[in-house]
Chain A
Amino acid sequence: MYTLSNRLKLFSVILMVLGAVGLISGFLSTPGSIEEVKEKMAAHGAHGGGHGAATSDANAHGNESHGDEAHGGDEHYEHVLHQLQNKPWASLYVASFFFFMIALGVLAFYAIQFAAQAGWSPVLFRIMEAITAYLVPGGIIMFVILALSGFHINHLFVWADPEVVEHDKLIQGKSGWLNGTGFIIRAAIFLSGWLLYRHFAVKFSRKQDEDSTGNKWYKKSFKISAGFLVFFIYTESMMSWDWIMSFDPHWFSTLFGWYVFASLFVSGITVIALITIYLKSKGYLEFVNNSHIHDLAKFMFGISIFWTYLWFSQFMLIWYSNIPEEVTYFITRIDDYKLPFFGMLVMNFIFPLLVLMNSDFKRMNWFVVMAGVVILCGHYVDIFNMVMPATVGESWFIGISEISAVLLFAGLFLFVVFNALTKAPLLAKGNPFIEESKHFHY
């Protein structure tokens, strides 16, 4: 049995408190009116002489609207005001989704291991089960944020704003799908389906430990896993349209669901590897050997490349055909988010490609940890790139509210996951493949 150390508990509580304080300060420091935005931008312009491109850009904006004061100069400031008001909400959303998708990715991976009757992974099942425990609080938080946004308590989703929809023929045409009620109902269906599978999969896995005669519970796990995977691939796809793609309701992409899936899948596998390495280093997993780590690292490597394949397929098709209504999505990202947009390619593709290619490196814990940390940061930036351009536009910055939101959810994630690890023995001893898995050697 794993026991949660006080240090880890304290660490996660500190993360949560720090994150909450930072996020609240982020909410408090948003400008309340156009006047405040003007003051802020003026101050920024005054001391920003040597600040470089970003500030000179802001200056140019300022001058431009000074000249145009007569016709709607305030419109620009109002625009910026909305962006700045969105900023803490968007950073909350990005961090909340990021940690939720890790748990979801692990759930999908777990189901695949069952459905594929994998012989190597059963020793890792309890770790996966513990990570998916985060689905419950994470899912509830996601649901609350989605409900708040779907009913326009904040301005995250433009389609939720009746004033905007009134003047927007395109969104009107999509309002049969994109409306607050449908949005919430769908979210409820997705979440309840995932949570139900998680609940029963864990329950059956514990029952199998108690009574493994005839593998009755194992067979049930197998069946619900196969069923879940069918449900998952539909709902994950729709979830990506609802929760991510609808930030840009004028834009659409057919492989977006797969793209989000690759992102959540690789982050999930990376977290499994990191937690396994951590627990192993603490001496809790004597049955896990470096071949298991090697396999996880292979998955991290392979799915990173799969993610890149989808990223590039989406980007290249749109770049190549250059159809105006589609290409704006990438133009805003390349113009305003150049560093995060291309930086994530380095973190999610080139780095894991070169670091995890060597078979010997995949067995070395510190190599896998290093690659894992970079991959996780890269996929945070990926989600950041999906959400921020539509919510805060060029007013983005990875500052206090973004970092504190990550700290808040990281603390919650660590607390929930490591608490769940104490609930059951770390070896799923009733699993019919457990002996094979214990002696797995590659």
Chain B
Amino acid sequence: MASKVIHALYIDDDVLMDAVKKVKTEHYHIEEIYTPFPVHGLDKVMGLPHTRLAITAFLYGCVGLTVAITMMNYIMIEDWPQDIGGKPSFSFIENMPAFVPIMFELTVFFAAHLMVITFYMRSKLWPFKKAENPDVRTTDDHFLMEISAGNHDIDQLTSFLGDTGAVEIKVIEKDEDNH
């Protein structure tokens, strides 16, 4: 079964922001917005929830710290506590300062890399992924708002979008399984 979406193109981010506000007050459902660059405050007017990426990074950092501590405690203290240059390898805490650079780096390493991978997975980005670009101009100088037509009157919706400053409005038939 096919559903209809409306593509409204804008050429200015300020106009786009105003349009989003108007669309929101009219309670139309915005499926997606494509912009060539980050538009500050767009997520806020769209009402998108905050990202939780920073929280995952903190947790990954904790994992990295744990890995570093467990690894060095096992290798340097428990498995083979050699006397290397008179460093006190009797307990972890006595030799701790020597381990701090590694503890720090592994914390950062885990936090950074795992967070980036999380980002790729959550935003479904990978090499050879097919680009989901409804209109090539959106990567250059156009802004595109995709609104689901749903049960709305399409003529009324398009004229409303025309009033918000859209320079081009298209009605698109979309296959459900495409999504």
Contacts and interface: CB of A to CB of B under 8 A. Distances in A.
Partners in one complex: yes
A316 B100 contact: yes
Contacts of B86: 322
A357 B58 contact: yes
Contacts of B58: 357
B64 to A, nearest CB: 15
Interface string B87-106: 00000000001101000000
A322 B86 CA distance: 10
Contact of B100 (A312, A322, A357): A312
A427 B54 CA distance: 35
A434 to B, nearest CB: 22
Contacts, number: 12
A316 B99 CA distance: 10
A320 B98 contact: yes
The majority secondary structure among interface residues of chain A is helix
A319 interface: yes
A234 interface: no
Nearest to A319: B97
Contacts of A319: 97
Contacts of A278: none
Interface string A316-348: 100110100000000000000000000000000
Interface in B97-121: 97-98, 100
Nearest to A321: B85
Interface string A338-369: 00000000000000000001010000000000
A315 B98 CA distance: 11
Nearest to B87: A320
Contacts of B97: 312, 315-316, 319-320
Nearest to A316: B97
Contacts of B98: 316, 320
Contacts of B100: 312, 316
Contacts of B54: 359
Nearest to B101: A316
Nearest to B55: A358
Residue among B54, B86, B97 with most chain A CB within 10 A? B97
Interface in B60-92: 86
Contacts of A316: 97-98, 100
A305 to B, nearest CB: 11
Contacts of A320: 97-98
A315 B97 CA distance: 9
Nearest to B97: A316
Interface string B45-60: 0000000001000100
Nearest to B86: A322
A113 B128 CA distance: 47
B7 to A, nearest CB: 32
Nearest to A354: B58
B80 to A, nearest CB: 20
A312 B96 CA distance: 12
B98 to A, nearest CB: 6
A289 B86 CA distance: 55
B60 to A, nearest CB: 14
Contacts of A322: 86
B136 to A, nearest CB: 34
A316 B100 CA distance: 9
A274 B27 CA distance: 44
B53 to A, nearest CB: 12
A83 B97 CA distance: 32
B50 to A, nearest CB: 9
Contacts of A315: 97
B120 to A, nearest CB: 23
A11 B7 CA distance: 66
A130 to B, nearest CB: 34
A134 B52 CA distance: 44
A359 B54 CA distance: 10
B22 to A, nearest CB: 23
11 contacts: A312-B97, A312-B100, A315-B97, A316-B98, A316-B100, A319-B97, A320-B97, A320-B98, A322-B86, A357-B58, A359-B54
- 8 closest cross-chain pairs (CB), A and B: A316-B97, A319-B97, A320-B98, A312-B100, A316-B100, A320-B97, A315-B97, A357-B58
Interface of A: 312, 315-316, 319-320, 322, 357, 359
Given A322-B86, A357-B58, 10 more contacts: A312-B97, A312-B100, A315-B97, A316-B97, A316-B98, A316-B100, A319-B97, A320-B97, A320-B98, A359-B54
